[in-house]
Amino acid sequence: MIGLKLLLLNGPNLNMLGTREPEIYGSETLPELVNAVRGYAADRDVELRDYQSNIEGELVTAIQEARLWADGILMNPGAYTHTSIAMRDAISGIDVPVVELHISNVHAREPFRHKSMLSGVCLGVIAGFGRDSYFLAIEALIRHLS
């Protein structure tokens, strides 16, 4: 589908990419990652807007506002994956497909990371493919919306 508009949401601590646990998350910074994802999207005629926040309520507001313009959302919710009923309710309250994504394989990590409060209301979940998780999420949304 040509001309899709997607929102890329990055949650708490993702602003620390490149310095926070590089053995898990890599050495690429968030601006570098977003730039690569934006280029990938542009090559597919997809407009990508991005937003990062460490504040749960700001992410909820971004999800709610996306219903007015976005065809889909790709979201790395960070630690809010495991705790945010507010984000779950926001996703449930909009008619926009959301792909939950993670850089690391959360299921191969600490037990508390194995449970997502969000995946049940998302189109799907992509985890463990590093930066490629973002590209795979774009592809999933393109295919779903086509």
CA gap 122, 124 in Å, rounded: 5
Residue 60, amino acid = V
Active-site residue among 25, 51, 80, 134?
Answer: 25
Q: Of 140, 7, 2, which Cα lies nearest the Cα of 71?
A: 7
Check if the beta carbon of residue 74 is closer than 8 Å to that of residue 99.
yes
Q: In the Cβ-directed half-sphere of 78, how many Cα atoms lie within 13 Å?
A: 19
Q: Is 25 a catalytic residue?
A: yes
> 51, 80, 102, 134: which one is catalytic?
102
Give the position of tokens 């049940």. Answer: 120
Asked if 102 is an active-site residue, the reply is: yes
Task: Report, as residue numbers or ranges, the catalytic residues.
Answer: 25, 102
